[in-house]
A and B are shown apart, each in its own frame.
Chain A
Amino acid sequence: MRRLLAFLPVVLALVLGGVFYWGLNPNRNPNEIPSVLISKPAPEFALSPVDGTGVPGLATQDLETAGEIVIVNVFASWCVPCRAEHAVLTRIKREQNVPLFGINYKDKPEDAARWLEDLGNPYTRIGSDLDGRAGIEWGISGVPETFIVSSDGTVLHRTVGPVVGDDAVTKFNRALQAARDLESAS
């Protein structure tokens, strides 16, 4: 018993050291909020189209019947990082051939339409979330946020903030690949 107790300080040092090592990891973002949606069905929502864009609106059913993995991007014309992210998402959609759906968060339809006219419209469907209620259903804390949804409408991945920069793009592509692997396995 006494011999075992002699190891107690070592054990304590290891445990505390482990906690500190975890806490000091520069890659850990303490502001990151774990999403409750991962591995759950996409939330119930139904959004009408954005006038002037010419693409249909977006509802839960569209995600369930898409028949393939889709990317759902929450964006707004007033959101500056969204402008940078737009080019990245356009490229991912083109190169990887994944449908891209949009939720236009708290945006005036005419502003959104003009923004998409300027930059090009990579979205197959866009839902207009004027009062931000669909955003709350998705549990977002701001724009942009990007989700990967499986063919049966299950949320597989969430990126908070813009998918911009090598790190974020690599992470997102990895998540997309993981989603594909999961899809082909089932």
Chain B
Amino acid sequence: MKRLIVAILLVFLALPSWAVEPDEMLSDPVLEARARALSKEVRCVVCQNQDIDSSNAGVARDLRILVRERLVAGDTDQEVLDYLVARYGDFVLFKPPLKPSTYLLWFGPGIVFLLAVFAGGRALHRARNTANAATLTAQDEADLDAYLASKEGDQ
């Protein structure tokens, strides 16, 4: 039990260790907040599944400082991202932009879903039709009655 408590405490001890170092931070809290939000959308080009906000890589630190410089210079969020994309490509963005080459990525799942609904609907429709076909027509009933009557006559 004691061990568990220590383990849990240790987990929380690790939480406040961010990669952003104090000397990088801006004194303006509004700009700093924007920088933090932007940094979370930018991929670190060295450790590729981390954002630059949480990465300790040298290039990530350089990019964090760069983002802050651009914000201080008066760039909008979009201008900062465009600046990075111009150098590193769409790859630095965690959220891929909507453009012809990414249409399949954005709309593919929706299209597959619609196809599935269409195919499923058709299959259900057909299943219901076959179920209906299993009931007898008037002619079948008449034939059957006649057959049964002839069988009864045999007995």
Contact residues of A with B, CB < 8 Å? Answer: 31, 33-36, 43, 106, 131-133, 135-142
Contact = CB atoms under 8 A, between A and B. Distances in A.
A93 to B, nearest CB: 27
A33 B66 contact: no
- Interface of A: prevailing SS: loop
B89 A106 contact: no
Contact of B87 (A31, A34, A43, A131): A43
B88 A36 contact: yes
- Interface of B: prevailing SS: helix
Contacts of B88: 33, 36, 139
A142 B44 CA distance: 11
Interface of B: 45-46, 48, 58-59, 62-63, 66, 85-89, 91
A136 B62 contact: yes
Given A131-B62, A141-B59, 17 more contacts: A31-B48, A33-B88, A33-B91, A34-B89, A36-B85, A36-B86, A36-B87, A106-B58, A136-B63, A136-B66, A138-B87, A139-B87, A139-B88, A139-B89, A141-B46, A142-B46, A142-B59
Nearest to A8: B119
A139 B91 CA distance: 11
A131 B63 CA distance: 11
Nearest to B62: A132
